[in-house]
Amino acid sequence: MPDVSSTELMVIVAARELKDGESVLVGVGVPNLAANLAKRLHAPRLLMVYESGAVGSNPTRMPLSIGDPCLVSGAKSVCSMYEQFAYYLQGGRIDVGFLGGAQIDRYGNINSTVIGDYAKPKVRLPGSGGACDIASNVKRIIVITPHQKRRFVEKVDFLTSPGFVEGRERWKELKLQGGGPYAVITNLCTFKFDDRTGEMTVAALHEGVTMDQVRENTPWEVKVADDLQTTPPPTDEEVSALRALDPDGIYLR
């Protein structure tokens, strides 16, 4: 197995979750790398839709922000901000969305708004952006996050983007059109979500990782899948394709 950083590992594992022909809503950074990697390898017909309205982009570099002209020059289409959220996201045309955040709980609820009290914040984070909209409308949510105790919490300080809220029953009551959280990919393992309860469940441990390590970094009593797998290690092909995407190591440090 090639020597990879934990970010590289997470991106490679995330890329494998994308299927050929799916549409993916991409932001800048790590999710952009995962989508591009999948496209280079097993999903050549992956459709990438950027939050800023660009579709079918051919960027000549890693975009500096979501409004980067490199996402527009040579793209198939671009539309306004409201149009992007209305026609594509609310339109139900996006299969997969990537989210991250400062905190996540066992139902995949994500906080990217505030640490501490909303009115008197300890740390004010950037906020939802499109995250809550993505969480509510795409078929599958994939979360990429380092596996740290301060990130995996019993209860998020602020629920920015709904996972299954208090479980799949509650999700159904909300009548959101999205499919909810699908996978959480960390540097230790891949979680999926229980079909019945909607609780985060360890589906696969990355090579060399033990359940004890996962438990140490997750504050609740972690559920484990009956058919717990081991994540196949990154291949040379995956690693070299990924590194070619970010030659300056902007995101892959």
Partner 1 sequence: MEAGKLMSMKEAVAKHVRDGDTAYLSGFTHMIPFAAGHEIIRQRRKDLVLARATPDIIYDQMIAAGCARKIIFSYAGNPGVGSLRCFRRAHEKGVPAPLEIEEYTHFGLSGRLFAGATNMPFLPMRTNLGSDLPPMNPLMKTVVDPYTGDTTSVVPPLRPDVAVVHVQKADVNGNSHIWGIIGEQKDAAFAAKRVIFSAEEIVDESVIRSDPNRTLVPDFLVHAVVHEPWCSHPSYVQGYYDRDNEFYVEWDKITKEHEATLGYLEEWVFGVADRREYMEKLPAGTMERLKPTPALSVPVDYGSV
Name which of 93 and 215 has its Cβ closer to partner 1. Answer: 93
Cβ at position 175, least distance to partner 1 in Å: 5
**Catalytic status, residue 51:** yes
Q: Could you please report the per-residue DSSP string of the chain?
A: -----HHHHHHHHHHHTPPTT-EEEE-SSHHHHHHHHHHHTT-TTPEEEETTSEES---SS--SSTT-GGGTTT-SEE--HHHIIIIIIITT---EEEE--SEE-TT--EE-SEEE-SSSEEEE----TTHHHHHHH-SEEEEE----TTTB-SS-SS--B-SSTTSHHHHHHHT-SS--EEEEE-SSEEEEE-TTT--EEEEEEPTT--HHHHHHT-SS--EEEEEEEEPPPPPHHHHHHHHHHSTT-TTT-
Q: How far is the CB of 149 from partner 1 (least distance, A)?
A: 22
Q: Identify residues 224-243 at the interface with partner 1 (CB under 8 A).
A: none
Q: Which of 46-54, 94-102, 186-194, 239-247 is the region at the interface with partner 1 (rule: CB under 8 A)? A: 46-54
CB nearer to partner 1: pick between 197 and 213: 197
| Ranges within 81-120 binding partner 1 (CB under 8 A) | 81-82, 85-87, 89-93, 113, 118
Kind of pairing between the strands at 200-205 and 189-193 = antiparallel
Residue number, 136 or 187, with CB nearest to partner 1: 136
Q: Quick one: which of 19, 128, 192, 245 contacts partner 1 (CB under 8 A)? A: 128
Site for partner 1 in 22-41 (CB under 8 A): 23, 28-29
Under rule CB under 8 A, which residues in 146-205 are in contact with partner 1? 158-162, 165, 170-171, 174-177
- Residues 47-86: x/- map of binding to partner 1 (CB under 8 A)? x---xxxxxx-x-xx-xxxxxxxxxxxxxxxxxxxx--xx
What is the CB neighbour count within 10 angstroms for residue 225?
14
What minimum distance in Å lies between the beta carbon of 134 and partner 1?
A: 9
SS (H, E, C) 12-36: HHHHHCCCCCCEEEECCCHHHHHHH
Q: Which of 9, 38, 132, 185 binds partner 1 (CB under 8 A)?
A: 132
- Supply the minimum distance, in Å, between the C-beta of residue 127 and partner 1: 5
Contact 51, 84 (CB under 8 A): yes
> Which of 4/54 has CB closer to partner 1?
54
- Report, in Å, the least distance between residue 224 CB and partner 1: 27
Q: Could you say which of 51, 173, 199, 238 is catalytic?
A: 51
> In terms of CB distance, is 86 or 228 closer to partner 1?
86
Provide the annotated active-site residues. 51
